[in-house]
Structures are given as C-alpha cells and as structure tokens.
A = this chain, B = another copy of it.
Amino acid sequence: MKHRQSLHTLFVVLLLAPALRADEGMWLFNQPPRERLEKDHGFRLAPEWLLHLQQSSVRFSSGGSGSFVSADGLVLTNHHVGAGAIQKLGDATHDYYRDGFAAATREQELRCHDLELNVLVSIEDVTARVQAAVKPDMPAKEAAAARRAALAAIEKESLAATGLRSDVVTLHQGGAYHLYRAKRYTDVRLVFAPEHAIAFFGGDADNFEFPRYNLDICFFRAYENGQPARVPHHLTWGRQPVSAGDLVFVSGHPGHTDRAKTVAEVVAMRDRQVPFDLQVIHRLESLYDAFCEEGPEERRQAIGSLFSVQNGRKARSGILAALLDPDLMARKRAAETTDRGPIEAGLDSRPSPYVRIAHAQAELDRIAVRHRMLEGAAGFNSKFFATARTILRAVAERAKPDGQRLREYRDSNRGPLELQLFSEEPLYDGFEVAKLADSLTALATTLGADDPLVQSVLAGRPPRERAAALVAGTALGRRHQPEGAQAPPPDRRRELYDGGAAAVAASPDTMLALARLVDEESRRLRGLAEAAQEVKQQAHAEITRARFARAGETLYPDATFTLRLAYGVVRGIEGSGPEDCPAITTYAGLFARARGKGDAFPFVLPPRWQEQRQALEADAAFMNTPFNFASTADIIGGNSGSPVVNRAGELVGLIFDGNIHSLRLDLSYDDRLSRAVSVDAAGILAALRKVYAADALVAEIEAAP
C-alpha cells in the first residue's frame, strides 16, 4: 500500500515540479547560484568563500578532482583517481597499487611519471570574440577552421601574457566560450595510499552502490623547484563530522553530461553510441580479466586497466538503463517540444536548429565506427601506437601556423602534451601485444577483413602475429626490463620528436609506420566529424540563446571537466522501499559487511586491517566513526576526489562515487533515489590515526591554518 501512495505522491510532485529540481546543478564558479542558495538554504555565498574554495580545488589531468589540505601542497584525492600514477610507480617487486604506500619523510615521497595538477586562477568570457570569427555564411568545414584559429589565438596570447595554462572551454554545446587560466604543477609526488582492498572494498559488486565502506583516498604533494609548493589556499579539516540534513558543497570537475542534448542526439546515444561503447568495454573487460589470470605479475600489470573498464561498464550500463526508461525519454521529448515551439516559430525560412542537429548527428552516426577505430585509435590499443601518432603528428603540425593545427598540437598545449609524451611509465611488451592483437582483431571485424586499409594494416598476417611484430619493432617508450632479460632497445622518443620531419621519415620504427599508414584516413574522418560538430555547435548556440532569454540564472552548462560548484544535503533514502538506507555508514558497518560476505573477495580486508581487527572492533569510538555518507549533490564522473565542504568551507568529505541511480544524472538530475557518495573526513582521520599510525600526515592535516 505504501508503495502505491508514494507513487501517487511522486506523480503530483512531478506535475508541479519547477524547471529545476532542488539542489540541481553543476554551476560555473563565475555564474554561481547565489539566489537559489539563499532562497532554498538560507546560505549567502560570499565571494571570498568561493575564491578560497576555487583555489583550494585541484584538477588531475588524468581525469579527476582533489584539493589542497595543507599549506605545503598536500593534495587529497581518491585512490582510484591516483590509481594510474600509483600503478606506474610499481615494478615486479613493488606493488604500491595493491599494497599501499606511506612516505615516512618527505624524501621518501615518490615522484609520479606524468601527473599534472591544475588550479583554476581565473575565468574570462570570450564568447563574443570566438563567435565573431565565424561568419554566418561559412561552410561548416571553413567555420570549424575559423573557430579553431580563434581559440588558438586567444590561448596563445593568454599563455604569453600570464604564463598560466590557458584553455578556451566550449560551454552549452557551443552557446558560450570561456577562457580558463590555471596554474600547473608537474612535479607531483605520492605521499600516502592505502591498500587497494580497503580503498575499493566490495569491488565491482559494491561499485556505484550505497551503503558503502570504502577508504577511497590517497595523498599526493605538489612540488615547485624541487620543494613542496607553498600554496596560498588550502582547506582545513572540518571540526564536526556531517549529520543527516546538513548542507554541503562539492567543488570539482564533472567530466561530461548529456543533459542539453536534443532528442535526436539522445536517441543516437541509446541506439548506437552507448551500445557500441559497451561492446568495446565488454571485450576489453574479458581481455584484461584473462590477462590478469595469467599470473601474479601479469595481474599487477593489468589490474588497473581491468578495474577501469569494469567501472566504465557499470557507468555505461547505468546510462543505457536510463536511456531505455520510457518515462525519462517521454520527459525529454516533452521538454524539447516546449522549447522547440517558440524557437521554430521565429525562424522565418531558416532551417530549424533541431533539424540541423539531427542531420549532423546522422552524419556522425554514419562515420562513427570507422572514426572510433581509426582516429579514436580503438583499433590500435597500445601505448606505443599512441606515442607514435603523437610524434608523427606533432612533427607535421609544428610546421603549420598555430591556428591551423589540430587542437592538441597548439602552442598553448605544448607543456601538457610533452609531459604525457615523455612519461617514464614502464611498458610491458606482453601486455602491449595482447592489447594490440585484440584491437587489430576488432578493427578487422568492425571494418571488415576485406577492407583495403585493414588489409594494409595487417600486412598479410593474422592479427596476433602482426601485433607481435609491431611491438617488437618499435622503440617509442621506456620498456620494462624483466630480471635477467636482455636490455631493451633504446628509447627513441626524444630523438624523433626533436629530429622533426626528416628524422621521422627516415625512422624504421614499425609503430611509426603504422601511424603513418592510417593517418590520411584518420584525418579525413576527423575533418568530417569536426564539420558535423561545427553544425551542431552553431545550432546549439541558437537554442541556448533562446533558453537563456527565458531562464536567466537557472541555466548551467553541461559538464566539461572544468571546475563546478554543486551542493546538496546529506541524505539517505527514506521511505519504505527496498532502496532505503541511512545517510551515513560507520566502521562497524564495514566489519559487518565483510563478515556477511564470508570475508571473500571482493570483501576481503587487507592484512593490516585483519591483523588489527580485534582491537579495532573493541574500540567503540572507532567503530562508531562515520565512514562514508550520501548526499543529494549533483555530481558525475570526474567529480571523483572532489572536496565536500560545509557552510564554513571546511572539508567534511571526499566524493568518490554515486549510487546506481546517480548514473542517470548524465541525462537529467533527479534527487528521488540518486545520491552522491563520499568518504567522511572524520573517517579518514580515524583510519590514518588508528590503522595506519600516519602521525606526521595527521599532524600536517591538523596544523592550524
């Protein structure tokens, strides 16, 4: 009976719902929701409060968020955000990813191979300048080129003037362009990481679920000139843990959402893009899982890739489930009908932006798989290939004027590009061959074994044989040297990159030859895709202008991996359904969950926790410490590692996940069942103190500001 009642109530609420739901929004820091915060939560957003939060927030170039938590550049983020960097620091005798790491002194902190942190310094609206570069009568290809040139010029000027990383970001699908300036930190060192088994307790099974019990944290430190960076802003640890009902704020970098997509675009996601993504993901999951089973060392090499695709599988499956929910699709259609009427009424004879988007989408769909396999390099899943392509293109693009280059080779991006290109990450031949053989097979089955380009790529050999030859013949990376093995061939990345076109043309490198072989067709496909995207951007800009004219401040753009402010309240799921759960879990819950699952993988506590289990379970204060909590904040992938702060701007948590219902936030916000999931700041301190005895770290965190 209660279930029926709540459905009825829900129906009424939906009918009366305002345009924005409570606590919806991934807000720009230069357009924060002041009025809504004041009206809904009685909170006055002070400029200095916001600036402090902004400059305490950190973006991980590898995809993720974090925050400064000491004046000496100490950075807190999720274990799973740091995972790639941590894994790359390991070798056959050190598995920091699995076993954790703790630097007893600053000298012991481990420098990461290719991690870059950014701190947002300023935002400038450059929409007018960008739009002015594109004339109304330009064909799409020409318009895309003009827009690219304008972006490059703005960024280059800014970098020269300020020395700051300068990125023009496309917002509202092309409705606005903002210049983001950020300070870069490229000397980043690992300070502390717990064991993977507690960071990711419950594994794939509990991923995207709540209640939850994960110590998904790690600490890095930003360095400048070989010294810990003295940072002007950092968050102080909250003095009180959160309680249910508390207002909290999230400052982080949501990566991507699809909320402003038109129905035609959403249908393409549902029927083509997401199913294809999942095909790729399932194949890779199988590949990495099988590789991990080959043995402990293979497992160490591939386990991070496995967890990453498993996470992607659950995320994409959640989005697909939302796309296949007829109610959600009906709401999308209804909203579009409402928007579309007034826009199309004022068009005179110009084609509707909705129709232009649908046509451009059809063109993108037509080339999608080929584009993904070639330009997206899904057919060449090897770090060696990625490096080869970067060198090939960097050398070719460098010869062109800045504004005419492919976006990633613009002068303003040179620093970040080179940091990645020359990473000292060790590469493993066996793993590279396995990945490349699998992806060459996929290339042949998706484009057809009789496709002439596929035949050139395979060079008359079966995929595995060809992959082995390609890996054996390349010298573009730092190879792992197994004990007792011959020294690997010398790394020729720098020599070729610096040597320019002549050196590249003369190189016998197999992977460079492969990159060259597919480059013309890859670039052609990219050109087609960029022209179609340009059509979409112009059309979306038109739609956005109309929506802004109607809605004013209540519009925030889709996520773009730029800094955003979200907020919500600490809340479980109340009601009478099977989904009900409290807002906050404790360490007592962790041990109960492990026991309930027979202490079997993925619910096995790491050795350190096992050894201290009895003492910890006897410690009532520890057992009752909040561990993870749920809130209604509007987040998505990329927000991982985001600081969660209270009204006072103090750190009270660390976003690390959303529940399974939150996956539909990609398409629209919904606070009925969707929850953001955080590690509690009090829980972090308790674990550092009682389980890890990380006294220096605790002292640094607790130092008076």
- What are the residues of chain B within 8 A of A461 when measuring CB–CB? 326
Query: Whole-angstrom distance from the CB of A94 to the nearest CB of chain B?
Result: 16
- What are the residues of chain B within 8 A of A362 when measuring CB–CB? none
Checking B274, B279, B317, B460 against A282 with a beta-carbon cut-off of 8 angstroms, the contacting residue is B279
State whether B324 touches A449 (Cβ < 8 A).
Answer: yes
Contact with B along A279-300 (1 / 0, CB 8 A): 1011101100110011110010
Q: Please name the 3 residue pairs, one residue from A and one from B, whose CB atoms are nearest each other, closest first.
A: A282-B282, A275-B445, A205-B293
Contact with B along A508-549 (1 / 0, CB 8 A): 000000000000000000000000000000000000000000
Q: Taking each of A270, A286, A597, which has the highest tally of chain B beta carbons within 10 Å of its own beta carbon?
A: A286
Q: Within 8 Å of chain B (Cβ to Cβ): is A48? A: no
Contact A270:B449 (CB < 8 A) given known A203-B293, A282-B282, A602-B293: yes
State whether A294 touches B460 (Cβ < 8 A).
Answer: no
- What are the residues of chain B within 8 A of A490 when measuring CB–CB? none
Please name the residue on chain B nearest to A320 by beta carbon. B441
State whether B460 touches A326 (Cβ < 8 A).
Answer: yes
Query: Whole-angstrom distance from the CB of A254 to the nearest CB of chain B?
Result: 24
Q: Within 8 Å of chain B (Cβ to Cβ): is A124? A: no
Contact with B along A112-128 (1 / 0, CB 8 A): 00000000000000000
21 A-B contacts (beta carbon < 8 Å)? A204-B290, A204-B293, A205-B290, A205-B293, A205-B294, A271-B449, A275-B445, A275-B446, A279-B283, A282-B285, A285-B286, A286-B313, A293-B602, A296-B597, A320-B441, A320-B445, A321-B462, A321-B463, A324-B444, A324-B449, A326-B460
Q: How far is the CA of A323 from the CA of B462 in the complex (A)?
A: 9
Count of this chain's copies in the oligomeric assembly: 2
Q: Within 8 Å of chain B (Cβ to Cβ): is A417? A: no
Known: A204-B293, A271-B445, A296-B598. 4 other contacts (CB 8 A): A271-B449, A282-B286, A321-B464, A325-B462
State whether B271 touches A597 (Cβ < 8 A).
Answer: no
- What are the residues of chain B within 8 A of A445 when measuring CB–CB? 270-271, 274-275, 278, 320
Checking B205, B463, B603 against A324 with a beta-carbon cut-off of 8 angstroms, the contacting residue is B463
Please name the residue on chain B nearest to A454 by beta carbon. B324
Q: Within 8 Å of chain B (Cβ to Cβ): is A600? A: yes
Q: Within 8 Å of chain B (Cβ to Cβ): is A489? A: no
Contact with B along A424-460 (1 / 0, CB 8 A): 0000000000000000010011101110000000101
Contact with B along A184-227 (1 / 0, CB 8 A): 00000000000000000001110000000000000000000000
State whether A205 touches B295 (Cβ < 8 A).
Answer: yes
State whether A462 touches B597 (Cβ < 8 A).
Answer: no
Contact A289:B289 (CB < 8 A) given known A279-B279, A321-B462: yes
- What are the residues of chain B within 8 A of A294 when measuring CB–CB? 205
Query: Whole-angstrom distance from the CB of A680 to the nearest CB of chain B?
Result: 25
Query: Whole-angstrom distance from the CB of A95 to the nearest CB of chain B?
Result: 12
State whether A597 touches B295 (Cβ < 8 A).
Answer: yes
- What are the residues of chain B within 8 A of A462 when measuring CB–CB? 321, 324-326
Interface residues of A in 293-343 (CB under 8 A from B): 293-296, 299, 310, 313-314, 317, 320-321, 323-326
Q: How far is the CA of A295 from the CA of B205 in the complex (A)?
A: 8
Q: How far is the CA of A275 from the CA of B597 in the complex (A)?
A: 37
- What are the residues of chain B within 8 A of A290 when measuring CB–CB? 204-205, 310, 314
Contact with B along A461-485 (1 / 0, CB 8 A): 1111000000000000000000000
Query: Whole-angstrom distance from the CB of A464 to the nearest CB of chain B?
Result: 6
Please name the residue on chain B nearest to A309 by beta carbon. B286
Q: How far is the CA of A449 from the CA of B275 in the complex (A)?
A: 11
Q: Taking each of A270, A313, A449, A598, which has the highest tally of chain B beta carbons within 10 Å of its own beta carbon?
A: A449
Q: How far is the CA of A285 from the CA of B282 in the complex (A)?
A: 8
Please name the residue on chain B nearest to A330 by beta carbon. B460
Query: Whole-angstrom distance from the CB of A332 to the nearest CB of chain B?
Result: 13
State whether A295 touches B441 (Cβ < 8 A).
Answer: no
State whether A278 touches B271 (Cβ < 8 A).
Answer: no
Please name the residue on chain B nearest to A465 by beta carbon. B325
State whether A278 touches B283 (Cβ < 8 A).
Answer: yes
- What are the residues of chain B within 8 A of A444 when measuring CB–CB? 324
- What are the residues of chain B within 8 A of A464 when measuring CB–CB? 321
- What are the residues of chain B within 8 A of A458 when measuring CB–CB? 324, 326
State whether A598 touches B460 (Cβ < 8 A).
Answer: no
